[in-house]
Amino acid sequence: MSHDLFEAARGAMAFAHAPYSKFPVGAAIRAEDGKIYTGANIENLSFPQGWCAEPTAISHMIMAGAKKIVEMAVIAEKLPLCPPCGGCRQKIAEFADKGTRIYLCDETGVKKTMTMDEMLPFSFETEVLG
């Protein structure tokens, strides 16, 4: 089941706009509606004011009416098994739960699977704070 997310993330990475960092990243989410939503990092001249691939994918998911991340894949062209940055981890946690699987990929496929709890232990919890 994770292979289609890997393919979608890799495809999204091709749309990255990374002229400053030269570090293309792609992300793909499977939401509770069963659909896959993708994103790529998008930089601008006011570096680092661009946005990462993960919130781009989250934005597509939210704008389509879905609200929950079931699983997610992340791939970077120049860093195998590139994990989401700290800010993105909190953004993902907003729409995921502790058991949500995050797949870290290289150019050949999924190489490591982590849960959100492993990725962001002792995090703010939406149901407690919200």
Report, as residue numbers or ranges, the catalytic residues.
54
Phi, psi of 42 (to 5 degrees): -135, 110
Give the amino acid at 76.
Answer: A
Residue 85, marked binder: yes
DSSP 83: P
CA pseudo-torsion sign 4, 9, 13, 17: positive
- Give the residue ranges of DSSP H helices in the chain: 2-13, 53-63, 86-94, 116-119, 126-129
Q: Find out whether 52 and 92 touch, Cβ atoms under 8 Å.
A: no
Cα–Cα dist 75/103, whole Å: 9
**Residues annotated in a binding site for Zn(2+):** 52, 85, 88
- Annotated binding-site positions: 52, 85, 88
